[in-house]
Amino acid sequence: MRKNIWKIGLLSLAWSMFFIWISSFATVPKNVDLNKVKTTRLSRNNGERKSLGLNAYTWCMLLDASSEKWAEYLQGINLTTHQRLAGDGYYNYRSIKSWFAGLGIGFHDESGTMFSENIGYGYYKCAKSDCTDALIKAIKSTRTFFMNEKYKKSQPHYGSIVSKTFDSVGLGISLRGNMYYLVSHYGKNVMKTNSWTVDKQ
């Protein structure tokens, strides 16, 4: 029994280190403080949520790693897409859910929509010694695009920002030349899954 518990502990630690390792591959220059970029975006989104009387989003390590992984993929193919499989259409919830599962990410309550993926891109250019603020300013244009849905009937991106269902978020950013790729993963009751154990994050 103790031996199995020991194995479970080691495997859980391995999964945690795996996702931290994925996050370390962010294609971002050394003259950019990625943590400041992410916290600024989270603060702005939570500001909107607060104005509507909603609880603040919190960071989720698993969603941060998954969003970074997808941002890296988009940067690699130089396209923005939600498609995991050929023929998926614009947004296939089931395929994205399977993709999460392949990363060892699941959701405790699957009775409704338990996650959402927002993607965006834009142009970024800076030759300064510290380009953090320049990237924050560039990414703000994508957020403005999302926020403008507030006044439209269809609100796929804005709806994720102000969702009453989700409680956590992860943000991935990757650069290709003077372009940035941005991925946000929102979720609720996020958990790490594997054959040994299930740990709620």
pLDDT, tens only, 153-178: 999 999 999 999 999 999 999 988 88
Does residue 131 register a pLDDT over 80? yes
The whole-number pLDDT of residue 12 equals 45
**pLDDT band, residue 151 (cuts 50/70/90):** very high
Q: Spell 19-52 as b/e; 16+ CB within 10 A means b.
A: beebbeebebeeebbbeebbebbbebbbebbeee
Please compute the mean of the pLDDT values over residues 177-194 and round it to a whole number. Answer: 90
Return the DSSP state at 154. -
The whole-number pLDDT of residue 27 equals 60
**pLDDT band, residue 19 (cuts 50/70/90):** very low
Does residue 11 register a pLDDT over 50? no
The whole-number pLDDT of residue 190 equals 92
The whole-number pLDDT of residue 9 equals 46
For 93, counting Cβ atoms within 10 Å of its Cβ (0-12 exposed, 13-18 middle, 19+ buried), the class is middle
Residue 2 is which amino acid?
R
Calpha distance 127→133 (Å, rounded): 12
Q: Sheet with 58-59: list strands edge to edge.
A: 58-59, 168-176, 179-187, 115-123
In Å, how far are 6, 82, 114, 116, 159 from 96, measured between CA atoms? Answer: 32, 8, 11, 9, 18
Residue listed under structure tokens 């996702």 = 19
**pLDDT band, residue 16 (cuts 50/70/90):** very low
Please give the share of the chain, as a percent, with pLDDT higher than 70. 81
Q: Which residue has the higher pLDDT, 134 or 125?
A: 134
Q: Which residue has the higher pLDDT, 14 or 85?
A: 85
The whole-number pLDDT of residue 8 equals 40
Whole-model pTM: value is 0.82
Does residue 142 register a pLDDT over 50? yes
Return the DSSP state at 151. G
The whole-number pLDDT of residue 49 equals 97
